[in-house]
Amino acid sequence: MRKRVKFFCLCVSPAIDATVTLPSALVGKGEIFKDVRDEENVGGKAFNVARWLAIRGADVVCGGLLGEDNDISFVREMERYGIADGFLRVPGSTRRNEMIVWPGGSVKLNRAAFPLIDAKIANGKLSEDILERLIGEASSSQGIVILSGSLPASFDKSFYNKAISYFKSLGMTTILDASGEAFRLGLEAGPDLIKPNAEECEAVVGFVPKTPEDFIRATRLLCEKSRHVIISDGGNGAWFDGEFISAAKVDVVDTTAAGDTLLAEYCWRFFAEGDNLTSDNARWAVAAGSAACTMPGGAPAPKQLVEKLYGSTKGLKP
**Measured distance CA(63)–CA(46) in Å, rounded:** 9
Distance of CA 241 to CAs 181, 221, 230, 244, 304, Å? 23, 11, 6, 9, 27
Q: Note the helical H segments in 199-249.
A: 202-205, 212-222
Q: What is the dihedral of CA 287, 290, 292, 295, to 10 degrees?
A: -130
User: What pLDDT, in 10s, does the model give residues 240-275?
Assistant: 999 999 998 899 887 888 999 999 999 999 887 655
pLDDT digits (tens, 9 = 90+) for 15-36: 998 888 888 887 777 788 888 8
- Residues 139-145: what's their mean pLDDT? 73
Which DSSP letter does residue 142 get?
Answer: T
Name the band, by pLDDT with cuts 50, 70 and 90, for residue 313: confident
* Amino acid 25: pLDDT: 84
| 148 three-state secondary structure | strand
Q: How confident is the model at residue 279 (pLDDT cuts 50, 70, 90)?
A: confident
pLDDT at 159: 97
Instruction: Say how many residues make up the chain.
Output: 318
**45, amino acid identity:** K
Confidence of residue 194 (pLDDT cuts 50, 70, 90): very high
Q: What are phi and psi of 84, to 5 degrees?
A: -70, 140
Give Cα 111 to chain centroid, integer Å: 17
- Res. 3: pLDDT tops 80: no
